[in-house]
Every structure is written in structure tokens, then in C-alpha cells.
């Protein structure tokens, strides 16, 4: 049972790599800033191991409202309500790659969608009933 500090249910995002050996779990509002947990499993008979517990001191409470992990598990894209960030998970601790990206229209507070592959990053906003997406 996962809920925010205020006791209300939160939207949890779960993503898995293509080989099924890395899982990322994003929980907005976790500990006031949102958090992303990354687990790895080296063999099927070994339990999942927490390898990354990611948050940002300056992140908004919706950090993790959208999240994706690359197919190979080396890159992680995370969005909050005002910006999106990309992390290199091969570093310990993970390192943010480049600058944070300001999101499309922060005033509207539309749901944000991030998607990452091994070589490409997509950041967009969901525009409602029409299922129309905008992507930069």
C-alpha cells in the first residue's frame, strides 16, 4: 500500500528493461520531493537488489510523475511538473546528463510524458480527451 505523506493514493510508474533484469519504480510525493527506485536482478534465484534511490533536493513534489528507463538500463528519464532530467545509471551514484529541460507549458500543468531509448529522448504533454500528444 503506497500513499503520499498526506495519506492519499499516488500514481506509481513502473518500467522494466527489455531483458527484465532492471526495474525502475517512480513515486511522486515520496518524502516530499518524489523518488525513483531502481532494482536489479542478476540471476533468477537471487532477490531484487535496490541499486539506486534517486531524488533531487530541488525537485518538485511531482518528481517521478513520468519516468522511463532505456532498453539496456543505462539511462533513466524522469519528469516532474516543471522539468525533465536524464540520468546515467552506469555511474555510482547516478549522474544527471546535461541540463534539466523546462517542460512545454508549466502554467497548464498538463500530464507530462517522457520516453527514452538507448539513443533518443522524447518529452511531451498529454492534452486530454483527444489523446493528442505534443513532443519537443
| Cα-trace Rg, the chain | 15
What is the rounded CA–CA span in Å between residue 101 and residue 110?
16
pLDDT digits (tens, 9 = 90+) for 68-115: 999 999 999 998 888 889 999 999 899 999 998 887 555 555 667 788
Domain-located, residue 38: yes
Contact between residue 89 and residue 76 where contact means Cβ atoms under 8 Å apart:
yes
Long-range contact set of residues 102-110: C-beta below 8 Å, sequence gap at least 24:
103/79, 104/134, 104/136, 106/81, 106/82, 109/81
Domain-located, residue 94: yes
**pTM for the full model?**
0.78
Q: State the residue range of the domain holding 42.
A: 13-135
Average pLDDT for 118-125 = 80
pLDDT given for residue 109 in this prediction:
58
Domain-located, residue 40: yes
CATH of the domain at 89: 2.130.10.10
Q: How many domains does the chain have?
A: 1
Domain-located, residue 8: no
> If you ran DSSP here, which 8-state letter would residue 52 be given?
E
What is the rounded CA–CA span in Å between residue 136 and residue 124?
6
Amino acid at each position: 500500500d503506497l500513499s503520499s505523506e498526506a495519506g492519499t493514493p499516488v500514481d506509481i510508474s513502473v518500467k522494466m528493461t527489455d531483458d527484465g533484469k532492471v526495474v525502475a519504480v517512480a513515486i511522486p510525493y515520496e518524502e516530499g520531493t518524489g523518488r525513483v527506485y531502481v532494482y536489479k536482478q542478476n540471476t533468477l534465484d537471487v532477490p531484487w537488489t535496490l541499486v539506486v534511490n534517486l531524488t533531487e533536493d530541488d525537485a518538485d513534489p511531482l518528481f517521478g510523475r513520468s519516468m522511463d528507463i532505456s532498453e539496456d538500463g543505462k539511462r533513466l528519464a524522469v519528469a516532474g511538473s516543471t522539468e525533465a532530467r536524464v540520468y546515467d545509471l552506469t555511474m555510482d551514484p547516478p549522474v544527471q546528463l546535461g541540463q534539466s529541460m523546462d517542460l512545454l507549458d508549466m502554467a497548464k500543468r498538463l500530464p507530462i510524458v517522457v520516453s527514452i531509448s538507448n539513443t533518443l529522448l522524447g518529452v511531451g504533454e498529454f492534452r486530454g480527451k483527444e489523446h493528442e500528444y505534443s513532443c519537443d
